[in-house]
Amino acid sequence: MGKMMTMERIKAFGAKRAIEYVDKDYKKNAPKLLDWLIEHDIGGDSLAPQAKVAKQHMQDPESNWNKLAEKVWTEVDAGVRKKIFENFIIHASLTGSKKQFETMEKEKCNVPWAILLDPTSACNLHCKGCWAAEYGDKLNLTFDELSSIVEQGKAMGTYFYIFTGGEPLVRKDDVIRICEKHNDCAFLSFTNATLIDEAFTEEMLRVKNFIPAISIEGFKKETDSRRGEGTFDSIMKAMDILKKKKLPFGVSCTYTSENTQTIGSSEFFDFLIEKGALFAWLFTYMPVGKGAAKELIVRPEQRKYMYEQIREFRNTKAIWTMDFWNDGEFVGGCIAGGRSYLHINANGDIEPCAFIHYSDSNIREHTLLEAYKRPLFMEYFNNQPFSDNMLRPCPLLDNEGALAQMVKRSKAHSTDVNDPEDVDDLTAKCKNAAAAWKPVADEIWALKPHHEYSGPRRNTRFYEDKYFEAEK
């Protein structure tokens, strides 16, 4: 064990020095960093395949990925860039991955790469179709509870934390305190951006490990129609401040039946790039909560459109994208239930997904490890992936009955504080969408070339083959 720890420290030290070396002249030295990552390939969440691809792009000056990398080195504050790289490459990937797999091997359960946290249920907006808008400001995790979650997570190798809500920046002082206290972690926050001002960006520059993902629904018409009059203008102001301060940021886009054509358009992505966004995380609308607007669920042709557009943009646009429903082939299906991430709401309920509001554990009653080993999360562990077609990853939206069965077997309860939703009622809202998407997804999967995922954490068979061999 001592020898392994020494090797990990050597790797971490080497990575830190490599990052510093690249900062001196990224065009000349970045390929050398990529060579280092390839050479020090590790088991688990390896960076080597990504590093090999990145090196190919760096050799092409016209590559959109090369242009994106250049933006990172020319338009992002050097101290912020260095800190984020250290936290992602050294702590989350080198040190963290090893801890995760050691815990998996010992405990025979999932351990996530990222944890989503709701500091508060409060929000200053009331967006159409958003369940959080109904919760009000009655729920909050204390600073000590937030810090304890991070401490527990780090002990098992989780160094990436994402604030959700509500609007996390309602608690901006505590958010900054958490970033400061846990300076070895990377923090991202979904935010409506209306509370980002000059003073807050100065705090971001000080702690260096906080990145906003700004929620936007398209251009002014689409954004204001769902988020309220004036929201788009507030977002533009926030983006301008962030860009001026050389702070990295991205966007979070939920595509619905009303805005898919805009969200997936080349014009919109060019606009995001011009504003300074470095990444775009894409989500399809989920009808969560009894008052959910079912009419916002995307139609099969709209989801197919997003599938095709995002893959085109990855070859042409200088922005990093991830479509969490259409990119299952790259991550082995559903990543929830602790497989790669989980969600803790402002009431302390430990949920498998930000969109799955059922739980059998609460952080005020159970440790993270206890939650990972309790029935609901073990249901995910034992049943992922939920389909052999990675374009149908979700147990709710894509595979009728899968979620309901897991919730019932685990005796999990609804965590909606205002109006608990029976899992069969939730499933019923997604039944038609799942049935309509299946033939389209199957056709794409059969006809289109796709990535054959062979990495870790795909399903129970992986664990049995790789880690539990001695017990067979």
For each of the domains in the chain, give its residue range(s) and CATH number, in order of start: 2-75 (no CATH), 103-382 (3.20.20.70)
Reduced to 3 states (helix: H, G, I; strand: E, B; else coil), residue 161 is strand
What's the length of the chain? 472
Kindly report the pTM of this predicted structure. Answer: 0.90
Q: Under a CB-based contact definition with an 8 Å cutoff, are residues 423 and 408 in contact? A: yes
pLDDT at 226 (0 to 100): 78
Place of tokens 């260096």: 208
Are β-strands 114-117 and 341-344 bridged in parallel, bridged antiparallel, or unpaired? Answer: parallel
d(CA 154, CA 394): 27
Nearest to 90 by CA among 175, 160, 28, 156: 160
Q: List, in sequence order, every residue forming a beta bridge with 350; answer none if it has no partner.
A: 344
- DSSP-derived 3-state class of residue 200: helix
Say what the pLDDT of residue 467 is: 36
The partner residues of 115 in beta bridges, in order of sequence, read 161, 342
Model pLDDT, residue 175: 97
What the block records as the tokens of 148 is: 């304890």
pLDDT at 458: 39
SS3 59: coil
Phi, psi at 187, each rounded to 5°: -120, 135
DSSP 90-114: IIIIIIHHHHHHHHHHHH-S---SE
pLDDT of residue 29: 77
Distance of alpha carbon 426 from alpha carbon 291, whole angstroms: 11
The mean pLDDT values, 10 residues at a time, for the chain of 472 residues are 49 65 74 72 56 74 89 94 91 88 95 96 68 65 98 97 94 97 98 96 98 96 86 96 98 96 98 98 94 93 98 96 94 95 97 97 98 98 95 97 98 92 96 97 92 58 39 34
